Structure 1
Amino acid sequence: MLPLLSRTRRALAAGCLALLLGAVAACGGSDSSDSSGNGSGSAGSAAEAPVEKGAFPVTIRHKFGSTKITSAPRRVVTVGLSDQDPALALGTVPVATTEWLGNFPGAIGPWAKKALGSAKPPTVLKDPGTGPQAERIAALRPDLILALYAGLTKDQYRTLSKIAPVVAQPSGMADYGISWQEQTETVGRALGRPAAAKKLVADVEKRFSDAAAEHPEFQGASAVVATPYQGLYVYGPQDNRTRLLHDLGFRQPAGLAKAVGPDDFGANISKERTDLLDNDATVWIVTDPAKDTAKLHGNGLYGDRRVVKEGREVFVKDSSEYGSAVSFVSVLSLPYTLERMVPQLAAAVDGKPSTKVPAADSGR
């Protein structure tokens, strides 16, 4: 099992486009008034969610400089692995999305089906292991490419920019390190709905504050998200799963930031660093809950820790719908995740082995 965020992420971050660019150059600068073609044109969605007055032109800064968008995009392709969710939440159905988790039709998770409505699911772009599929993207004639929850290289950015304006990942943080709040608000600016995006963020943040108020035991309790990938792997401060716990009131274990480093979202740790896993609550993302639990508990350096003896673990099956939602951490997936994870965390934090952490996986 690879740590969720790395199956596609590593390829995006390290790969180079190995595609011919003749088709790219021929298809660049598409007519934004044409909403025909593969996937679901976003013109109907845009009509349902009007562009806000004075929204364009807009310039958005990112890791590779800045991108100017002069008018409302109508054909949006999402290269960022979860960028489709804020677009859908704001009334735009992408013409294409990038496959990541769950193998959902159109790469639209169950938490986003209501936002998709009766629209045709987008075309799904597969990751070939060399980064974004430039030729396929060009053939879709997009007028905007969103790559916020992504790890584009400079060369990939330059190639995609020959097709359409590209809003890349922000500077000053690790690739795939954008928070769901900044992701949502940046997509809102790019689509001409900044006020609507801010309201979406505020609504979900209220869900966090309500959950935190209902569970004062979360405040200041230590918690971490980990996975048994190639041994022991922890997610760091720049990962959205860690931020999810933080927004509920949890604190990170001491030494987590140093163990992960400033330029990545997570890292493997040695067996001697199981102190990072010995928390008031530890969330494990696993492939097979029964087998992975037995293997983890069989490691004496971890199995003898308080977190195990006091029943403070939460196990999430990565291939379930819930597991996919836990890793998406988007404006649409978070309500779905919180509804299921908060009761699990409450049962884990009490430190009573007799309190069983409820199962929340849907079985998919």
Structure 2
Amino acid sequence: MSLSSPSRRRPRRLVAPVLVLSLAGALTACGGGSSADDSASSSDASAKASAGAFPAEVATKFGTVTVDEQPKRVVALGWGDAETALALGVQPVGQSDWLAFGGDGVGPWAEGEYDKSPQKIGTLEPEYEKIAALKPDLILDTKSSGDRTRYDTLSKIAPTIGVPKGGEQYKIGWKKQTEMISQALGLADKGEKLIADTEAEFTAAAKEHPEFKGKTITVGSRTSNGWGAYVRGTDRVGFVEQLGFENNPKVEAEAGEGFSVTVSEENLQMLDADLVVMAPIGIDAARISGDALYKSLPAVKAGHDIVFTDKNISTAFATNSVQSVGYALDKVVPMFADALK
């Protein structure tokens, strides 16, 4: 059965009550459960587990952040942070809408998961007064610029889970994002299950399409300012690497600290690979597919390219949260396979 079949999809939202683990329990094998000699009663242990074991500690670029008790008012600012919280059954009171979805600020894969719409917060420049007015007891900013001033300002409002070490410039994958947020929320076991279930989907897709393995791929975009290609360490590239692809070595050779490299029209041949996948950002897709220089790429001439024309598919691929990757797998894997034929 193809991965695009709806029957293979599982519900992405987890709302059933489950036992939760502390961060220490998640990291220390000997601490994850009661032994036969444990003097605590089973009822006491169950009560502690169901409430979450706090304080919880989360390692970030700016040091270890301690969350003393179960957060009740969460503000999610990082790209995909709100969707990750929703996947864990937590509804932020405020969130940033990075891709201008409108409505509740989430993609179609997470629609209807809010009981009450969150307050919208700015993205690149958070509205700090608006955030403070929400009186949060936890701020999520795991996928953001990693700017120290931003972090310090947010931390004065509430404990803030910033980027992980090395996670600057949005270089944090959905797995690390899910791990950090689930730990901060006292829901490490839910996070582990979400990660395991999603990993299984990637494994199944890669197994179903062995032709992906070792093929080079360019994942790029065109905006009103020009062309670009994404580098290893970013979500889009991580997504295709999990399917067996190798990111375009010519792009990697130009990689710096940012999440992408600029590609001039004079050097557009650098985009060529076994498979070229392009997304229009703020422009019509025809400005890519109809461009004479783009059409001159050997991969494009051979039909081994994809230009996203469906906004939902493009944004799912770009968001790459633990919720959106399942949607993206269903949609783009068949497209990849067709383009490589």
Does residue 1:253 correspond to 2:248, yes or no? Answer: yes
TM-score normalised to the size of structure 1? Answer: 0.77
After superposition, the C-alpha distances for 1:37-96 in whole angstroms (9 at most, x for unaligned) are xxxxxxxx9995664426321221212222111111110001102101110011100001
3-state secondary structure, aligned to 2:201: helix
Q: Is residue 141–residue 160 contact of structure 2 (8 Å, CA) maintained in 1?
A: yes
Q: Which residue of 2 aligns with 1:335?
A: 326
Q: Which residue of 2 aligns with 1:69?
A: 67
The one-letter code matched in structure 2 to 1:85 is E
3-state secondary structure, aligned to 1:183: helix
The one-letter code matched in structure 1 to 2:62 is F
After superposition, the C-alpha distances for 1:184-220 in whole angstroms (9 at most, x for unaligned) are 0111100001111011011111111111111111011
Q: How far off is 1:272 after superposition?
A: 4.6
Q: Which residue of 1 aligns with 2:152?
A: 158
Q: Which residue of 2 aligns with 1:79?
A: 77
Q: Is residue 280–residue 348 contact of structure 1 (8 Å, CA) maintained in 2?
A: no
Q: Distance in 2 between matches of 1:243 and 1:324?
A: 15
In the superposition, relative to structure 1, how do residues 245 and 67 fare at CA in structure 2: closer, same or farther (>3 Å)? same
Q: Which residue of 1 aligns with 2:234?
A: 239
Q: Which residue of 2 aligns with 1:4?
A: none
Does residue 1:288 correspond to 2:284, yes or no? Answer: yes
Q: Distance in 1 between matches of 2:17 and 2:92?
A: 14
The residue correspondences of 1:13-92 to structure 2 (distance < 5 A) are 48=17, 51-52=20-21, 53=49, 55-92=53-90
Q: Return the match for 2:304 from 290, 306, 312.
A: 312
Q: Is residue 108–residue 121 contact of structure 1 (8 Å, CA) maintained in 2?
A: no
Q: Percent identity among equivalent residues?
A: 36
Q: Return the match for 1:112 from 110, 114, 136.
A: 110
The one-letter code matched in structure 1 to 2:106 is I
Q: Is residue 51–residue 72 contact of structure 1 (8 Å, CA) maintained in 2?
A: no
Q: Which residue of 2 aligns with 1:303?
A: 295
Does residue 1:126 correspond to 2:118, yes or no? Answer: no
The residue correspondences of 1:176-191 to structure 2 (distance < 5 A) are 176-191=170-185
Q: Return the match for 1:175 from 150, 169, 178.
A: 169
Q: Is residue 51–residue 193 contact of structure 1 (8 Å, CA) maintained in 2?
A: yes
Q: Is residue 49–residue 91 contact of structure 1 (8 Å, CA) maintained in 2?
A: no
Aligned residue-pair number = 296
Does residue 1:200 correspond to 2:186, yes or no? Answer: no
Q: Which residue of 2 aligns with 1:325?
A: 316
TM-score normalised to the size of structure 2? Answer: 0.82
Q: Return the match for 1:270 from 250, 254, 264.
A: 264
Q: How far off is 1:126 after superposition?
A: 2.9
After superposition, the C-alpha distances for 1:265-289 in whole angstroms (9 at most, x for unaligned) are 1020234543432111111001312
Q: How far off is 1:103 after superposition?
A: 2.5
